[in-house]
A and B are shown apart, each in its own frame.
Chain A
Amino acid sequence: MSEKTYQVPTMAEKSASGESPEVLFWVGCAGSFDERYKAVTLAFVKILNKVGINFAVLGEEETCTGDPARRAGNEFLFQMQAMSNIQVLDSYQVKKIVTACPHCFNTLKNEYPALGGNYEVMHHSQFLQGLINEGKIVMKGGGGFRGKKITFHDSCFLGRANNVYEAPREVIRALDLELVEMKRCRTKGLCCGAGGAQMFKEPEKGRKDINIERTEEALQTGAGTVAVGCPFCLTMMADGVKNKEKEKEVNVLDLAELIAKDQGL
Chain B
Amino acid sequence: MSSLPQILFLLVLGGAGYLLYRRISFLRKTIMLGKQVSRTDHPKERWKTMMLVAFGQKKMFKRLAPALLHLVIYFSFIVINLEVLEFIIDGIAGTHRIFAPVLAGFYTVAINIFEILAMGVLVSCVFFLLRRNITKVPRLSSSELKGWPKLDANLILWIEILLMLAILTMNATDQILAYRGVEKYIPLGGLWISGSMQWIFDGLSNNALLTLERFAWWFHIIGILAFAVYVTYSKHLHIFLSFPNTWYANLEPKGKMPNMDVVTREVKLMLGLQTEPSADEPAAAEAGRFGAKDVNDLTWVNIMNAFSCTECGRCTAECPANITGKKLSPRKIMMDTRDRAEEVSINMQAGKKGFDDGKSLLGDYISQEEINACTSCNACVEACPINIDPLAIILEMRRYTAMEESGSPAQWNAMFQNVETSFAPWKFAPSDRFNWASEINKDAK
Contact = CB atoms under 8 A, between A and B. Distances in A.
Interface of A: 1-2, 4-6, 8, 10, 27, 29, 31-33, 38, 41-42, 45-46, 57, 59-60, 62-64, 66, 68-77, 79-81, 83-84, 106, 109-111, 114-115, 156-157, 160-163, 187-188, 190-191, 193-210, 212-214
10 contacts: A29-B426, A59-B437, A69-B415, A73-B291, A73-B412, A109-B253, A111-B256, A191-B320, A206-B327, A210-B321
B277 interface: no
A190 B379 contact: yes
B134 to A, nearest CB: 26
Contacts of A156: 375-379
A60 B257 contact: no
B375 A204 contact: no
Contact of A83 (B252, B273, B318, B409): B273
Interface stretch (B171-179, B184-192, B427-435): B427-435
Contacts of B369: 204-205
Contact of B325 (A161, A187, A208): A208
Contacts of B323: 190, 210, 213
A110 B431 contact: no
B375 A195 contact: yes
Given A79-B267, A83-B271, A200-B425, A160 B382 contact: yes
B263 A191 contact: no
B381 A160 contact: yes
Contacts of A208: 324-325
Contacts of A66: 419
In this complex, the member of B270, B271, B328, B425 whose beta carbon has the largest number of chain A beta carbons within 10 angstroms is: B425
Contacts of B147: none
B427 to A, nearest CB: 10
A53 to B, nearest CB: 15
A29 B424 CA distance: 6
B257 A111 contact: yes
B2 interface: no
Contacts of B399: 73, 75
Given A74-B408, A195-B375, A206-B327, 14 more contacts: A4-B445, A27-B436, A33-B426, A42-B439, A57-B437, A75-B263, A76-B263, A81-B423, A106-B253, A160-B377, A197-B412, A198-B375, A205-B369, A214-B320
B403 A76 contact: yes
B377 A79 contact: no
Contacts of A77: 416, 419-420
A236 B328 CA distance: 20
A74 B403 contact: yes
Given A33-B433, A194-B375, A200-B425, A72 B327 contact: no
Nearest to B368: A204
B402 A84 contact: no
A65 B36 CA distance: 29
Contacts of A59: 433-434, 437
A73 B293 CA distance: 13
B181 to A, nearest CB: 61
B425 A73 contact: no
B372 interface: yes
Contacts of A202: 411
A209 B320 CA distance: 9
B373 A203 contact: yes
> Which 4 residue pairs spanning A and B have beta carbons closest together?
A161-B255, A207-B325, A196-B376, A73-B402
Nearest to B324: A208
A191 B373 CA distance: 12
Contact of A193 (B320, B381, B398, B424): B320
In this complex, the member of A109, A195, A199 whose beta carbon has the largest number of chain B beta carbons within 10 angstroms is: A195
Contact of B437 (A4, A8, A197, A207): A8
Interface string B262-286: 0110111011010000000000000
Contacts of B439: 38, 42
B259 interface: yes
A139 B426 CA distance: 36
Contacts of B318: 188
B382 A187 contact: yes
A110 B290 contact: no
Contact of B321 (A1, A68, A106, A206): A206
B49 interface: no
B419 A68 contact: yes
B217 interface: no
A83 B375 CA distance: 25
A128 B273 CA distance: 37
A212 B271 CA distance: 43
A103 to B, nearest CB: 9
A4 B441 CA distance: 9
Given A31-B436, A33-B433, A203-B326, A73 B378 contact: no
B252 A72 contact: no
Contact of B425 (A64, A79, A163, A195): A64
B96 interface: no
Nearest to A264: B445
Contact of A32 (B328, B419, B433, B440): B433
A29 B423 CA distance: 9
Nearest to A190: B320
B444 interface: yes
B381 A63 contact: no
B29 interface: no
B247 interface: no
Nearest to B376: A196
